[in-house]
Amino acid sequence: MTRQIVLDTETTGLNAKLGDRVIEIGCLELLNRRPTGSHFHYYLNPERASEDGAVKVHGISDEFLLDKPRFREIASEFIEYIRGAELIIHNAPFDVEFLEQELALAKLPQLAEHCAGVRDTLKLAKELHPGKKNSLDALCERYGVNNAHRTLHGALLDAELLAEVYLAMTRGQESLAIELEQAPAAAAAPGGVPVERARLVVLVATEEEIAEHAGVLQGIQAESKGKCVWLKLEAPGAA
């Protein structure tokens, strides 16, 4: 069973090294490339103010976050949710740096000790579409994912959109594997033992049916004044 967690964050600013913090985490679970309906979502008190530019992007005010939990208070739940899964993140270095900082402040091991790895969908998109815009909005438009309700950035909403985009981007990679998996299944019994297909039964027309068929063709020939195509095809030497 392949378990993946599509993840996004919102932050107080763009630079973790300058003390910016995570204010929202949104995750959803994929199991064998299918959404399970399982979500992990928290708004967080960053214990500092957000930059004006960041607020314009995500619309989350400092006042709204005052009564929200600190990251350290939900860290164990977050770790348990992502444990053993591959993380799917758009522009992964950005989110990973912030998450690593939050884990360090909570005196917890690094991200790599909790998850199976990180896949960067921005890097993947650049490989698939070099020289083109590969923002989440651009990818939604390219792959026909409806993002009309995305007026502001939100971690859970962006994770849901990214999940659709990621599945669309990687669907071609799965097609050959799916075909290879399905082909043996069609020719095998439930236990995996090959089944010999039954031969098709060919029913030969009786003399009466052949005579009736010939009579129908002669009737068509008469009504069409000698333009019956079937008689022409059955004539000796017809191609």
Residue linked to tokens 């990251």? 71
Whether 114 is catalytic is no
- Collect all residues with Cβ–Cβ distance below 8 Å to 160 and sequence separation of at least 6: 6, 26, 28
Of 58, 90, 114, 153, the active-site residue reads 153
CA distance 35 to 160: 9
CA distance 70 to 22: 10
> Residue type at 195?
V
What Rg value do the Cα atoms of the chain yield, rounded? 31
User: Are the CB atoms for 70 and 102 separated by under 8 Å?
Assistant: no
Task: Write the CA distances from 1 to 30, 33, 151, 223, integer angstroms.
Answer: 10, 10, 35, 67
- Collect all residues with Cβ–Cβ distance below 8 Å to 115 and sequence separation of at least 6: 5, 82, 83, 84, 85, 86, 87
CA distance 215 to 202: 23
Residue linked to tokens 């097609």? 175
Active-site residue list: 153
